[in-house]
Amino acid sequence: MTAPARRTGGRSAAVLASIRSAVEDLVRERGAERVTIPLVAERAGVNPTSVYRRWGDAATMINDIATYRLDPSRPLPSTGSLRDDLIAWAAEIVTHYRKPVNAALLRAGAAVAGEGQSDCLRNRRLEAAQLVADSAVTVEEVVDTVIAPIVYRVIFLPDSLDDDTAVRLVDRLLPA
Amino acid sequence: MTAPARRTGGRSAAVLASIRSAVEDLVRERGAERVTIPLVAERAGVNPTSVYRRWGDAATMINDIATYRLDPSRPLPSTGSLRDDLIAWAAEIVTHYRKPVNAALLRAGAAVAGEGQSDCLRNRRLEAAQLVADSAVTVEEVVDTVIAPIVYRVIFLPDSLDDDTAVRLVDRLLPA
């Protein structure tokens, strides 16, 4: 009974991977606001109906792709120093969003955010909670001091992100 | 020679005001991604051609409306205390963006941001520069510590903005 289920899982994971890759290519080529479900289905070689069944509309699809683009199951930094962990984690986020396609996905996610279910940064907040567990630092402090300035700059001032951004922001929370 | 020019200015200011009000109504009613230039022109009672001539496409139009929605010529707080000025200024921004239509306009502006000319928060940064002139606080610190957390919360966590947000954020920069 389990083998067919496993096969189905493998096939739908492959379909999802090809849809994600099609969305990223099209966002890069055309800009997020001109990406439609029929275009994505054609590029991914899948039936538009199955894309519509999963997401309903292009905005929800792009937001969902933006959500899962940073692998939520990757290991978090664990150096023994909260400051070093936060710097490594923030630097990874900065590096990710300095790629124009990822910034475009975040902007597209921002456009459809604001309701509980459409929040493409939920996983980053969950990671922050893991990192600060058992410390005096709160998730809210990490959100305001580290995540928010990175996200603001990705969206509005992408050229202002550099190799020092992560250290500079974490320094405000936990000075060296 | 000046009277006709003044009349023309008055008329185009009135046209602009009716377009802005049409955009705000339509964003409230339909969501920013379903607002088109023909719809705005119809609601504002103007010719679509004149809207296209001014903005080219709906995303640029909405971004521009989002940019000018907080009057850039209003007087900035000037209490004699930088901390109090920043709190009053930040509280005004929070109050503005707690209105769902203004949050929707900011999200729409975020979607088309990222190039120098399409930055709906440029005026907020210019105001920050005025407020911190002649102090040891830098614009970058105000951007990271006050503006970015407000904007992040407007876009992704609108229910987390409250009456204490402005004080709480400015406290991180200039403790009481």
In this model, does residue A173 exceed pLDDT 70?
yes
A14 lies in some domain: yes
Chain A residues within 8 angstroms (CB to CB) of chain B = 32-33, 59, 103-104, 107-108, 110-114, 119-121, 143-145, 147-149, 151-153, 155-158, 169, 172
**pLDDT grade for A143, boundaries at 50, 70 and 90:** very high
Write down the pLDDT at residue A176: 85
Q: Own/partner pairs for A94-101, CB < 8 Å, 24+ apart?
A: A94/A150, A94/A161, A94/A165, A94/A166, A96/A69, A96/A70, A97/A150, A97/A151, A97/A154, A97/A158, A97/A161, A98/A158, A98/A161, A100/A28, A100/A158, A101/A24, A101/A27, A101/A28
Q: What mean pLDDT comes out for the span A78-84?
A: 95
Q: How far is A32 from chain B, CA to nearest CA, in Å?
A: 8
A169 lies in some domain: yes
Last residue of a domain, one of A44, A68, A92: A68
Q: Taking a C-beta distance cutoff of 8 angstroms, is the pair A27, A104 a contact? A: yes
Pair B162, B109 in one domain? yes
In this model, does residue B2 exceed pLDDT 60?
no
Pair A90, A163 in one domain? yes
> Integer distance in angstroms from the first to the last C-alpha of chain A?
56
Pair A63, A97 in one domain? no
Q: B59-117, pLDDT tens digit by residue?
A: 788 877 876 666 667 789 999 999 999 999 999 999 989 988 888 888 888 877 765 54
Q: Find the CB nearest A110 among B111, B148, B149.
A: B111
In this model, does residue B30 exceed pLDDT 80?
yes
A73 lies in some domain: no
Write down the pLDDT at residue A34: 81
Question: Of A59-68, A83-92, B44-53, B79-88, which gets the smallest average pLDDT?
Answer: A59-68
Write down the pLDDT at residue A9: 59
Buried b (16+ CB within 10 A) or exposed e, B111-129: bbbbeeebbbbebbbebbe
Pair B86, B168 in one domain? yes
Last residue of a domain, one of A42, A68, A94: A68
B67 lies in some domain: no
Pair A60, A31 in one domain? yes
Pair B86, B52 in one domain? no
Domain that holds residue A152: 82-173
Question: For A34, which DSSP code?
Answer: G
Q: What mean pLDDT comes out for the span B124-136?
A: 91
Pair B52, B86 in one domain? no
B chain contacts of residue A172, beta-carbon cutoff 8 Å: 144-145, 172
Q: Higher confidence at residue B136 or residue B61?
A: B136
Mutation for testing the A interface, residue in B60, B115, B117, B152 having most A CBs under 10 Å: B152
In this model, does residue A120 exceed pLDDT 60?
no
Pair B92, B169 in one domain? yes
**Total domains present in chain B:** 2
A154 lies in some domain: yes
B147 lies in some domain: yes
Closest Cα partner for B76 from B119, B25, B129? B129
Question: How does the average pLDDT of chain A come out, rounded?
Answer: 85
Q: What mean pLDDT comes out for the span B27-48?
A: 89
Q: How far out from the chain centre does Cα B160 lie?
A: 19
In this model, does residue B119 exceed pLDDT 60?
no
Q: Higher confidence at residue B75 or residue A74?
A: B75
Report ipTM for this prediction.
0.81
Buried b (16+ CB within 10 A) or exposed e, B8-34: eeeeeeebeeebbebbbebbbeeebbe
Q: What is the CATH number of the domain that holds B48?
A: 1.10.10.60
A16 lies in some domain: yes
In this model, does residue B29 exceed pLDDT 90?
no
Percent of chain B past pLDDT 70, that is, above it, reads 87
Q: Find the CB nearest B158 among A107, A111, A114.
A: A114
Pair B50, B95 in one domain? no
Q: What is the CATH number of the domain that holds A59?
A: 1.10.357.10
Tokens of B58: 């709906």
Pair A96, A160 in one domain? yes
Write down the pLDDT at residue B105: 86
CA pair distance B123, B125, nearest whole angstrom: 5
CA pair distance B107, A151, nearest whole angstrom: 13
In this model, does residue A7 exceed pLDDT 70?
no
Pair B50, B128 in one domain? no
Write down the pLDDT at residue B111: 79
A76 lies in some domain: no
Residue listed under structure tokens 């105001």: B127
Q: How far is CA B144 from CA A90, B21, B29, B150, in A?
A: 14, 32, 33, 10
Pair A147, A89 in one domain? yes
Task: Decide: residue B149, CB within 10 A, 0-12 exposed, 13-18 middle, 19+ buried.
Answer: buried
